[in-house]
Amino acid sequence: MADTRPIGVFDSGLGGLTAVRVLRRILPEENLVYFGDTARVPYGGRSRETLLKYARQDLRFLRSRDLKAVLVACGTVSTTSLDTLQAENDLPIVGVVEPTCRRALAVTRRRRVGMIATLASVRSGAYEAALRRLDPQVDVLCRPCPLFVPLVENGRFERGDVVIETVAREYLSPLLEWGADTLILGCTHYPLLEDVLADICGPGVTLVSAGEESAFELKRLLTARGLRAPDGRRGEAEYYVSDQPEDFERIASVFLQEPVHHAARRIDIDKY
């Protein structure tokens, strides 16, 4: 039953590489194909209609390869377009919302779950709806953090940086005053902010990272369906972007938190 066909992963940019990092750790034997839509990043502020169009193109490109499953690492696409993508495609597609919400509900003590993400993810109401569907008694408060993605991409995610700490404190204070005991990081860029966010939240708040939970969900799904690659081998990872592959290694190193020596290949996403 061993299946070495690759897993496809896509995101609006390179933030989804934080999910690739987790996949490489928990599924080292799997082949991965990553697409980052760097020509059209960020997806965060776009309309539902535009997002669905982009998501369809991203998936059509990945499916030009023979994939066994797809991880939608983009929070914005997961919260606006996942149902449509699943209905239109005949392979397993894992988003970031459901697995993350289940995890948040497993760890919350007072059923007060906060969520931070891009403006489009918050507006979609998808995290709120999924949490309430899984537990009608849960209290949820969602806040957009529109500056986190540009700050992370410009390297401003370290402890002690007054810029990220000021912005993060402003974004988190309504959630902390409200009494969140669990905080969903609903964007793949946010795992890099974990130290800064944990300092501000203190030990009373458990952080749940969307990219991480969806990687675990994908592992469970592949195992249940007998789609895992054989143990002991070392899977390959291929990277594609829609713009500027020359910056890829530097930025990818930030997100994968290890040196990157693979070049990314550029494709014209408008053709898909």
Q: According to DSSP H, which parts of 41-125 are helical? A: 48-62, 75-80, 82-88, 97-107, 119-124
Q: Which one of 4, 50, 89, 253 is in contact with its own copies (CB under 8 A)?
A: 50
Give the C-alpha separation, 85 to 78, whole Å: 9
Contact 223, 235 (CB under 8 A): no
Give min distance, CB of 41 to its own copies, in A. 8
- The answer to the question of residue 174 lying near its own copies (CB under 8 A) is no
CA nearest neighbour of 246 among 259, 270, 269, 263:
263
- The answer to the question of residue 146 lying near its own copies (CB under 8 A) is yes
Contact 50, 42 (CB under 8 A): no
- The answer to the question of residue 45 lying near its own copies (CB under 8 A) is yes
- The answer to the question of residue 94 lying near its own copies (CB under 8 A) is no
Neighbours of 141 (CB within 10 A): 17
CA nearest neighbour of 141 among 95, 173, 109:
173
Q: Which one of 150, 174, 179, 230 is in contact with its own copies (CB under 8 A)?
A: 150
- The answer to the question of residue 125 lying near its own copies (CB under 8 A) is no
Give min distance, CB of 152 to its own copies, in A. 11
Phi and psi, residue 57, nearest 5°: -65, -45
Cβ-based nearer residue to its own copies, 183 or 269: 269
Is 187 annotated in the active site? yes
**How many residues sit close enough to its own copies to count as binding (CB under 8 A)?**
22
Q: Could you give the residue numbers annotated as active site?
A: 74, 187
Q: Which residues bind its own copies (CB under 8 A)?
A: 38-40, 45-47, 50, 146-147, 150-151, 153-154, 156, 162-163, 166-167, 243-244, 247, 270
